[in-house]
A and B are shown apart, each in its own frame.
Chain A
Amino acid sequence: MKCYVGIDLGSTTTKAVVMDGQGEVLGRGITNSRSNYDTASRVSKMEAFVSTRLTLFRRSLQDIPGLEEGLNELLAALERNFRLELFLEQLQDLEQTCLQNGRDLRFASRRKEIATALGAIFETLREKLAGLFAPDVERKSDFFRDLAGSEYMQVAERVAKDGGIDYEILLNLYDKSIIEVENRPPSEDLDGKFMQALDRVLREGQGSGVANEAIQQPVRGALGVELDEAYVVGTGYGRVRLPFPKEHIRSEILCHGLGAHLMYPATRTVLDIGGQDTKGIQVDADGIVVNFQMNDRCAAGCGRYLGYIADEMNLGLHELGPMAMKASKTVRINSTCTVFAGAELRDRLALGEKREDIMAGLHRAIILRAMSIISRSGGVSDQFTFTGGVAKNEAAVRELKKLVKENYGEVTININPESIYTGALGAAEFARRAGEA
């Protein structure tokens, strides 16, 4: 089947959307941009095709008698197990790479200890991390680096202490190896991994009540559907890095405008807060951009602002919003400079302000800056769609709603759970229009 792909290379994450010829979204994929847009683009695309396969499995299995109720569970189990297969493959790659790097001349006298220590570390990692893909386990991140990294540090520290080997060496090996592993594409045999995953799912008894063959056959059939990458459009900051001709590249402004229009056709104003830029976009009834403004030379008030604050406070990015929601008042924080905001934050803490209240102030600061960019682009018209990573942050959303109401009155505000894919969605639609034209 003909597939149209949109890839959005952001400063933090890279997103891909696969669409069919009728404009229906088949799959979405995301990965960290890891300063290597070639790999990021390849991995996000692969993820989107994996997700496309899952959509095809669903389509092929949905009419099987007896499976109706268990279908969601079955598909979830299949995905979990498939990801486990991928994860284990990468973990093995990491082990081999660490061993390889451990043979460096610098470590000539300690090769044996290093190999033993790595063996012990990875054995523990395999056991512990497989559990991450058990049912109902919430993973902190979808990225291999995050999942493997923190656990490696902990285990390595213990192994180093017990085995009398320098922890710094183990850390050094990891840092060098993870970059190589991350930038290596997974092996091509995705179909094989799906079938292995399915075997495991069936062994574990999912899909009970239906004969194994009744499930295996449609899955095989869905795997047999050839996914033809008919047209790819790239967007985002890294777009010049894409190995595409110029006509396959669109600015993220047009893609976000069109993406928001596809999600909510009545959209007239779009606000996107990404990692390093904030965009205010005005679109017409057809999703055509009629005006836009972006932050200029300074990236204060963008997603990275929150990332910086999270680092300053030793918190995870996803913890900031919930903390701010507990505020009883909003402490005033300036929004013009990210680094100064960090200093203000420490100042307010020293003055005895509560962390929650300071967090509320920081979120307000971001949105105040966004409001100024929106007004520069022509203000807020009904309906208003908020996209980008920051749209997932409930405290930012709360401030935005407040400020939009104060300044522009009652306006419908749309926030899609898949809003992080808005740019990639628009890019995929551009690809579809070009391919179907």
Chain B
Amino acid sequence: MADTTQTEAVKESSMLKQKAMIAANYDALTSTAETGRKVASTFVPGNLNELIMCFDMLNNLPEINAINNGMRKKSGAMIMDAEKRGHSEDVCTYVKCDLGMMSKGNLAPNGKPMPAPDLLMLSYTGCFTFMKWFELLRHEYGCETVMLQVPYEGDGKITRNMRDYVVKQLKEVVIPAFERVSGVKFDIDRLREYLRQSAAAEDNLVWVLESAKNVRSPIDAYFGGVYYIGPIFTAFRGTQDAVDYYRILRGEIEQRITAGQGPITPEGDMAEERFRLVVEGPPNWTSFRDFWKMFYDEGAVVVASTYTKVGGVYDQGFRHDPEHPLESLADYCLGCYTNRNLPQRVDLISKYVDEYKADGVLINSIKSCNSFSAGQLLMMREIEKRTGKPAAFIETDLVDPRYFSAANVKNRMESYFQMIEQRRKGTTAAA
């Protein structure tokens, strides 16, 4: 999500703000030896940042470290290192990148070593690899590990029972573990205050994401979107910083709409909007810029994406609720995109196609992601049937540079755009 190495691109205030926030968080993480602060490691989907903050602890997200390493072209060597030590080619490359990072000194982007976690906080929200990943980390660090069992939305809804079950675990297992590790007593009013700030930031995030409903979208909700979700998906949800960030961001987007501008790209403002797409699946991080370029060079804007919902589906109405703090944390975990079943995903994507007036859907299937690649072809067929819009299917990877074949992806994307163009023009102008 948050890349700290972008160079040529013009920086807007929100970008500078986010960059400073990320740098400060890495500085806090890498100076725990001096400050004595405790660290919890957790994942983006089901990330309980407000709760972690209640115990004065820092939040370290291994996925984000892997993304950072992918964008800074360091993941390839890390993955090779993990494979050398016996991890199979088929294993999730976030995992291997994280393990490889550890064996290469576990350095943060500021060049200082990351701290060992004091607590591994696993919210299990649909990705079974997370469980295996934390088993490996527990083996490595031998620290306290808590697993929050979040029931999968197999029937497509959250029941009272499911919510109660999560809340009960929060009360009986998760909070006591945090108290034990941090030595800080849980204060529900402190949690309420953080959740209030979360909700304020979430309102503006949703406004920003929905600005793509404008025809001539002011944002790219995938390539740009991954930056916009940065603070709310990571260590900043519930902070004043996040509230400020989203307020600034919203102001910038409002200005873009008024000025009739399209999305910002690494090469400046996008000239013309020719195609509007909905994208399912994460971006490829190792060739992020090249991949993005294949879109903006053709005038293609992503108007909605599911990846920007993996850490919370806020645009469908959910907000963290200070009046029901633990229940809303439960609802948040239960409602993450990763915890939704296939029919719900199909519903969401089809809805996006209609509401965002998209020309089609692209599925970027992840070679090393066994949890979420299954069922994507079926989803594709169903979405095509419901919306009447064509879907394209490509295969790349998260952070393994070996699995991004630029020539093939470009070839398919170009063909796809030309097909949409031809369909749009119809027979008379089929040339």
Contact = CB atoms under 8 A, between A and B. Distances in A.
A366 B377 CA distance: 21
A376 B403 contact: no
A254 B408 contact: no
Given A250-B418, A251-B415, A254-B422, A296 B431 contact: no
B377 A292 contact: no
A294 B431 contact: no
A287 B414 CA distance: 18
B295 interface: no
B422 A288 contact: yes
B403 A291 contact: no
B418 A237 contact: no
Interface in B382-431: 384, 390-391, 393-395, 403, 405, 407-408, 411-412, 414-415, 418-419, 422-423, 426-427, 430-431
Contact of B422 (A289, A293, A378): A289
A434 B408 contact: no
A430 interface: yes
B384 A433 contact: no
Contact of A293 (B365, B393, B405, B431): B393
Given A253-B419, A254-B419, A254-B422, A296 B411 contact: no
Contacts of B412: 294
A237 B423 CA distance: 22
B419 A286 contact: no
Interface in B343-385: 365, 367, 377, 380-381, 384
Contacts of B394: 296
B430 A287 contact: yes
Nearest to A295: B408
Contacts, number: 62
Contacts of B419: 251, 253-254, 289-292
B415 A252 contact: yes
A89 to B, nearest CB: 36
Interface string A418-437: 00000000000010011001
Given A250-B418, A253-B415, A297 B395 contact: yes
Contact of B426 (A237, A288, A289): A288
Given A289-B423, A437-B431, A253 B390 contact: no
Nearest to B396: A297
A68 to B, nearest CB: 39
A254 B418 contact: yes
A395 interface: no
Most buried by B among A258, A297, A376, A378: A297
Contacts of B430: 258, 286-288, 430, 433
Contacts of A293: 393
Contacts of B423: 288-290
Contact of B408 (A250, A296, A376): A296
B413 to A, nearest CB: 10
Nearest to B426: A288
16 contacts: A251-B415, A253-B415, A253-B419, A286-B426, A286-B427, A288-B422, A289-B422, A290-B423, A292-B415, A292-B419, A296-B365, A297-B395, A376-B380, A378-B381, A430-B430, A430-B431
Interface of A: 237, 250-254, 258, 286-294, 296-297, 376, 378, 430, 433-434, 437
Given A376-B380, A378-B381, 6 more contacts: A254-B419, A288-B426, A290-B390, A376-B393, A430-B430, A434-B431
